[in-house]
Amino acid sequence: MKILVPVKRVVDANVTIRVKPDGSGVELGGVKMAMNPFDAVALEAALRLKEAGMAEEVAVVSVGPSAAAETIRSGLAMGADRGILVATDERVEPLAVAKALKAVMAREEPGLVLMGKQAIDDDSNQTGQMLAALAGWPQATFASKLELDGDRATVTREVDGGLETLSLPLPAVVTVDLRLNEPRYASLPNIMRAKKKPIDEIAAAELGIDLKPRLTVLGIAEPPPRQSGTKVADVAELIDKLKNEASVL
């Protein structure tokens, strides 16, 4: 079985986000980029399934500019077998990404698609669900535990009332939560070997799909600065402020 793992290039989680002066977007110039943390968890799950003998190949795919090849290389250094880049310089939204991934799935014929439940840049949490709907595949979201048994997958996911366990036939789309595992670090030998692993580049135009954005960004602004706290002399003053000044809550 082949496992396909979509990965997204995002601003590193440890970098402080800055909004452009004109409010048109987030400043990306000179900013450290990395693999979306949720996607790294999905890749780790795929690699563990391969190591357990439940998959023969793990392929990582990314939709975006040529710089996204660096993110794919990171996945190859973790242990993925090969990469696929759907190259486009246009801004892509979840629906466009889902369409591109569906086209890649038609070429690759994977038995399982593992992906992060959301990306940390837009928090859309839509691509996995849209992909499953477009492909007509079963889906399970927010997986905190994943097990394969023959041609079926068992997924445990957290819901408001506790834990929910789903059983679904393969092929399927599964989106994962951070609680599923702890992604491995790429060793230096694997980083060197990753440079020789193949990355197939496909121009988005070759897929014959509509990637046109449906949303218009009106503006982006940073949240207001946090107000300073207030010191009180005693408990009586604290209780008085809690009762009469809602702004301190």
CATH number of the domain residue 130 falls in: 3.40.50.620
Whether pLDDT at 199 is above 80? yes
pLDDT at 115: 95
- Would you state the structure tokens that stand for residue 235, as one six-digit string? 């408990």
- Residue 134, sorted as left (phi over 0), alpha (psi -120 to 50) or beta, turns out to be alpha
75-115 confidence digits (pLDDT tens):
999 999 999 999 998 889 999 999 999 999 999 999 999 99
Q: What is the DSSP string of 194-246?
A: HTTS-EEEEEGGGGT-------------PPPPPPP----SSHHHHHHHHHH-G
- The helix (H) or strand (E) run that includes residue 199 is strand 199-203
Domain that holds residue 201: 2-248
114, 3 Cβ separation under 8 angstroms: yes
Predicted TM-score of the model (pTM): 0.85
pLDDT of residue 248: 44
Domains in the chain, number: 1
Q: What is the pLDDT of residue 240?
A: 87
- Residue 249 pLDDT more than 50? no
Q: Are 131 and 117 in contact (CB under 8 A)?
A: no
**Do the Cβ atoms of 56 and 2 come closer than 8 Å?**
yes
Read off φ and ψ for residue 16, nearest 5 degrees. -80, 125
Alpha carbon of residue 49 to chain centroid: 19
* Average pLDDT rounded to a whole number, residues 25-52: 92
Mean predicted confidence (pLDDT) in 30-42: 93
CB of 195 within 8 A of CB of 70?
A: no
Confidence (pLDDT) at 246: 59
Residue 194 in tokens: 């990753």
Q: Could you count the other beta carbons within 10 Å of the beta carbon of residue 58?
A: 26
Angle at 16 between CA 213 and CA 73, to 5 degrees: 65
What would the DSSP string read from start to end of 129-171?
HHHHHHHT--EEEEEEEEEEETTEEEEEEEETTEEEEEEEESS
Digit-coded pLDDT (tens) for 166-191: 999 999 999 999 999 999 999 999 99
Token pair for 181: 């595992």
Question: What percentage of residues in the chain have a pLDDT greater than 90?
Answer: 66
Mean per-residue pLDDT, 118-146 = 94
